[in-house]
Structure 1
């Protein structure tokens, strides 16, 4: 009798072990199956999603084959059950288990949007419209509506965002990015304004920002910015018109067709610095940090004029006679290239 009991016990242990081995093997097969995706794929996990619901999400998306043993995964791998909400990127080379590990330990996927120096608010809105995985909450808003939403006490938003690269995650909106860009602009502007040169013909940080935008549009050569700034500062000090083409173009708006004619220089607009004295009423573009630095810390020079050199930079002059010579030299270069 005892022998039969022992035999039955041994048989039970063997069968149980075989069953456990079978279950464990099936569970391992489920967890180690490769994801059925051919390219990096985004997965969004909502707040409150359970581990088993997450596995159903993989299965319903046909990224993995379903298994009746999947319900045991949470017991076998409790370290994988700490599901975080957010949007993550799955890789084709991952197995289901590797993907789950990345969801527990990894960071949400981020996207970036880059705004170049000298771009306008109109350019920014066009970029926002094309930005992937970003909520376009301002699409049907006017500029005044956006200003109100951002608590900016100005009707025009030109120049009020710092031109640089901003990162965002799924679920963020264009307003979120604008808010960060505006805060960053104020931070940089206030820091440089506090370190400005003495005797600048600028009364407010906003005027410094306006000058920075003109500098930004006049030169793309970083080392030239302080020198270009000195020309405009020298002109402001003696009450001389700035006479800068980018302000004319900005004032022309949709009427600008790529060319500035003499009549355009003579046609008054609030932004035409050939007809008005001083700075334009608002910035004419978004700026980067270097342009702000140049606006409040210009080079010490006696220059009052500059013209393109034909080689990417500019020729600076102290008087009109030398400037006219530089203009003629530039025109000769243009004709030679035609």
Structure 2
């Protein structure tokens, strides 16, 4: 018969073993969920709307992020995270732990990508880019929700870089871009110079889009704006090549030919006086400001010098000489 002290030693040994085993398990849990990186590579983890904590645990197991869904669920309940995790797509970086991913889900810190609306590009360029991307949801019919009473959304989206939640609808970003443009346009219109030949802020936007396409040089924007204003006041056709190009079929950049000038399009400002019916590009704040505050000069003409800049003239004879001069330079190159 075993002596009482031997029973005590056995019980102490068993208890010590259990404590060690439990300590080891706690250490393992700590390592797996709080210390060790959950993955060696970047992963996108998508949590569908309405997912329960249990479903999340199996999604993470299927993506080899965790080994035990049961332990993961127990931790979520212990830390009271079970009902606070938000749906969406989350980026798991190589240095992230399982728990840092959980904290992202608790904050709703979904994976976001950049959407750029670039000044000088056209609406068709943006539609093509959005349609080709698999990073978010877009259909051209979304534009109908923004168009309101306008013939086109051209020029009505403010150029900038916007943050877009991965896999989600791009419509909120488009609404933000439209709202931002409207705010800036209204602000600039209210502070415009007097005696401009524009009857509405939309006409100012149309003029600004022409400036945007004519030059990328900041110092020239207000000069070109002045030419537009002078021609409109004199009733002269604007004769701006970018408007003609906009009226041609297709979305690709084209080099105008002589026959293009003869096309009877509403955007052909060689054939039709006044502004074209809509903007012809996305417009920067700089071009809006230039349209609202043109340089007051007598210039009626300008010609491209071949280096991105332009030469401005008052008389048509000066313009013809300038054209011949830069044609010779272009042909020589």
- Tell which deviates more after alignment, 102-111 or 197-206: 102-111
Corresponding residue number in structure 1 for 2:60: 58
Corresponding residue number in structure 1 for 2:157: 161
Superposition pairs of residues 123-162 of structure 1, within 5 angstroms: 123-138=125-140, 141=141, 146-147=143-144, 149-150=145-146, 152-162=148-158
Superposition pairs of residues 1-338 of structure 1, within 5 angstroms: 7=9, 10-11=12-13, 13-31=15-33, 32-38=35-41, 40-66=42-68, 69-74=71-76, 78=79, 82-104=84-106, 107-138=109-140, 141=141, 146-147=143-144, 149-150=145-146, 152-254=148-250, 258-337=254-333
**Aligned mates of 1:200, 1:259 — CA distance in 2:** 31
Q: CA deviation at 1:4?
A: 6.8
- Tell which deviates more after alignment, 215-224 or 152-161: 152-161
Residue 26 and residue 70 in structure 1: after superposition, are their counterparts in 2 closer, same or farther (change >3 A)?
farther
1:80-131 CA-to-partner distances (Å, cap 9, x unmatched) read 6542333221112333344334444572221111122121111111011123
Residue 252 and residue 7 in structure 1: after superposition, are their counterparts in 2 closer, same or farther (change >3 A)?
closer
**Aligned mates of 2:200, 2:149 — CA distance in 1:** 15
2:312 partner SS: strand
RMSD: 2.8
**Aligned mates of 1:69, 1:262 — CA distance in 2:** 75
**Consecutive unaligned residues in structure 2, runs of 5 or more:** none
In the superposition, the TM-score normalised over structure 1's length comes to 0.86
Q: CA deviation at 1:260?
A: 2.7
Say if 2:197 and 2:229, in contact at 8 Å, map to a contact too. yes
**Aligned mates of 2:70, 2:191 — CA distance in 1:** 68
In the superposition, the TM-score normalised over structure 2's length comes to 0.87
**Aligned mates of 1:255, 1:183 — CA distance in 2:** 25
Number of residue pairs aligned between Structure 1 and Structure 2: 329
Residue 114 and residue 86 in structure 1: after superposition, are their counterparts in 2 closer, same or farther (change >3 A)?
same
Residue 34 and residue 152 in structure 1: after superposition, are their counterparts in 2 closer, same or farther (change >3 A)?
same
**Aligned mates of 1:264, 1:253 — CA distance in 2:** 11
**Aligned mates of 1:114, 1:34 — CA distance in 2:** 33
Q: CA deviation at 1:73?
A: 3.0
